[in-house]
Structure 1
Amino acid sequence: MATDDSQMTTAAHSPGGGDASRPWTELASDYEQARSREDSLDRLVEWPAQRDMLGDVTGLSLLDAGCGNGAKIAQLVQDGAVASVGVDISDNFVTEAPPGLELIQGDLSDLAAVQGLAGRSFDRILFLQSFGYANDPVHALKTARAMLKDDGFVLLTRTQPIRYAIERAEENGTTLGEEYFSTSSFSYRHRNWNEGVTLTKRPYTMSDLLNIFSAAGMWVETTVEPQMSREIGERYPHKQAVLNRYLGILMFKLRPLPVRF
């Protein structure tokens, strides 16, 4: 999964988080169409930065948790990854998966319970803009940690939390601080995906993210906040304007903390 390029349309504030994964079954095809556009921020910024952070994947096994239609994990297998798996709540997968890739319908909230993953381990585990849909993020990350091979890492990307706070402040006529530190879940629709489908998110701060990583027994080896090159920004000024206003995404390379005896 990846973040959308356009502003969200806030639908309502919701007192509970609900099952944030369920709407993706209906939304998956609309999301993939938006992501594949030539001027998608995923194509221009996110995927190149994610690919760079992964490095050479030749001979490595990968698990993409919340893989959408599986296009990204399929490309990584074509680049040399082996014995890899994509998991998504929707089963709207690419029709022709390359040899060495298995696409499984399942919930990233508990990867250990996904049929076909029991007893398996991976060199790299990816949460590409999907981590926010885990019912219990600490549990989800702990489960992923247990599935890592020696010297493996988790690549986790999330939208800059200030972006959501700015959007909600503009929508609700409130202040940045009020929305950034709000703990109320909010429901919204994406203008660029399908306005008939409502998604629910739990707001988070930077400290929330860091505390989740720590509670799951992970440490941050590298953090990246990818931006457009000047050339691409000049070619797509409307997308550069989005980044200038809403900041973009955060990317974390997470390693397991050493076990203390």
Structure 2
Amino acid sequence: MVTKDSGAEGAGAVGSDSSRPWQTLSAGFEQARAREDSLDRLVEWPAQRALLGDVTGLAVLDAGCGNGAKIAQLAGEGAAASVGVDISANFVAPPPGVELIQGDLSDLASVAGLAGRPFDRILFLQSFGYAADPVQALRTARDLLTDDGFILLTRTQPIRYAVERSEQNGTSLGEEYFATESFVYRHRNWDEQVTLTKRPYTMSDLLNTFSAAGLWIETTVEPQMSAEAAERYPHKQAVMNAYLGILMFVLRPLSGQPGR
């Protein structure tokens, strides 16, 4: 394992005030993800893994990798180069060949050891919302792709947050879905003592961000629980029924855009 410090600066940079909430929250996130009834285990990771396909011999970068467990798994499944970047540095002890770097996904170009390094797959698995400048973050990732590479990006369905805020504020779904003011959010399943400031977004915001970054959508998936999992964990199916779940995108560079 190699652990490095990035020289990133600005919002969310290593050591900055804005990075500290996530450094505290990351442990709770990993504990919640490890639970048997975690939606990440039941819905998200199986769908993400299916979209990635065979990773044998590929170079994979996980931007916002959490503790690095997923990139370590991909290395065990044949990925030739496996790199994880996360601001928290609360990493697992990975197998040989896995490199975990403390750094800011907002500016991958400034993360030590990444500049000019090509990747076949770049992952933003529920991490993209923390980018200080979403368009620039994707442009930088795009420029790190190989000719046939793609970005796998997942985001919570934006209606989820609108439904939650409408319930909390006694407002309508439309009011909250189209709201533009940032809001304070506490994740009940991770650590209720930690607050994060979130920027609301709509589907059009996501699509326009991809386009502005010079990317097109090859595939979109909205994974659901299997019938067996829904029967075994009805409380989780109730969450999916109320809040819709997650969106997954396979993104590739538009023709004529910079790339390898």
How does the TM-score come out when normalised to structure 2?
A: 0.91
Which residue of structure 2 lines up, in the alignment, with residue 58 of structure 1? 56
Partner letter of residue 242 of structure 1? V
Does residue 188 of structure 2 align to residue 173 of structure 1? no
The runs of 5 or more residues in structure 1 that have no matched partner are 1-17
Kindly report which structure 2 residues correspond to 1:118-133, keeping only aligned pairs within 5 A, or say none. 118-133=115-130
Q: Which has the higher contact order (CA 8 A, sep 6+)?
A: 1
- Residue 255 of structure 1 aligns to a residue whose secondary structure is strand
Residue 61 of structure 1: CA displacement? 0.4
Q: Is the contact made by 2:39 and 2:236 (CA closer than 8 Å) also made in structure 1?
A: yes
Residue 196 of structure 1: CA displacement? 1.1
Task: Give the CA RMSD over aligned residues.
Answer: 1.3
**Quick check: 111-120 or 140-149, which moved more?**
111-120
Residues 260, 85 of structure 1: alpha-carbon distance in 2 compared, 3 angstrom cutoff: closer
- Residue 116 of structure 1 aligns to a residue whose secondary structure is coil
Residues 161, 197 of structure 1: alpha-carbon distance in 2 compared, 3 angstrom cutoff: same
Q: Name the CA distance, whole Å, in 2 between partners of 1:39 and 1:164.
A: 21
- Residue 228 of structure 1 aligns to a residue whose secondary structure is coil
Q: For residues 126-182 of structure 1, what are the alpha-carbon distances to aligned partners after superposition, in whole Å with 9 as ceiling and x for unaligned?
A: 000000000000000000000000100000000000000000000111110010000
Q: Is the contact made by 2:37 and 2:236 (CA closer than 8 Å) also made in structure 1?
A: yes
Q: Percent of counterpart pairs with the same letter?
A: 78
Which residue of structure 1 lines up, in the alignment, with residue 31 of structure 2? 33
Residue 44 of structure 1: CA displacement? 0.2
Q: Name the CA distance, whole Å, in 2 between partners of 1:132 and 1:260.
A: 24
Q: Is the contact made by 2:179 and 2:200 (CA closer than 8 Å) also made in structure 1?
A: yes
Q: Name the CA distance, whole Å, in 1 between partners of 2:119 and 2:134.
A: 19
Which residue of structure 2 lines up, in the alignment, with residue 15 of structure 1? none
Residues 260, 217 of structure 1: alpha-carbon distance in 2 compared, 3 angstrom cutoff: closer
Q: How many residues align?
A: 243
Residues 21, 161 of structure 1: alpha-carbon distance in 2 compared, 3 angstrom cutoff: farther
Does residue 38 of structure 2 align to residue 46 of structure 1? no
Q: Is the contact made by 2:214 and 2:257 (CA closer than 8 Å) also made in structure 1?
A: no
Partner letter of residue 146 of structure 1? D
Kindly report which structure 2 residues correspond to 1:8-27, keeping only aligned pairs within 5 A, or say none. 19=12, 21-27=19-25
How does the TM-score come out when normalised to structure 1?
A: 0.91
The runs of 5 or more residues in structure 2 that have no matched partner are 1-10, 13-17
**Quick check: 146-155 or 22-31, which moved more?**
22-31
Residue 230 of structure 1: CA displacement? 0.8
- Residue 223 of structure 1 aligns to a residue whose secondary structure is strand
Partner letter of residue 30 of structure 1? G
Residue 22 of structure 1: CA displacement? 3.6
Q: Is the contact made by 1:21 and 1:133 (CA closer than 8 Å) also made in structure 2?
A: no
Match of residue 152, structure 1, among 142, 149, 154: 149
Runs of 4+ in 1 over 6 A off after TM superposition: none
Q: Name the CA distance, whole Å, in 2 between partners of 1:50 and 1:40.
A: 15
Q: Is the contact made by 1:109 and 1:140 (CA closer than 8 Å) also made in structure 2?
A: yes
Q: Name the CA distance, whole Å, in 2 between partners of 1:55 and 1:193.
A: 30
Partner letter of residue 70 of structure 2? K
Partner letter of residue 157 of structure 2? Q
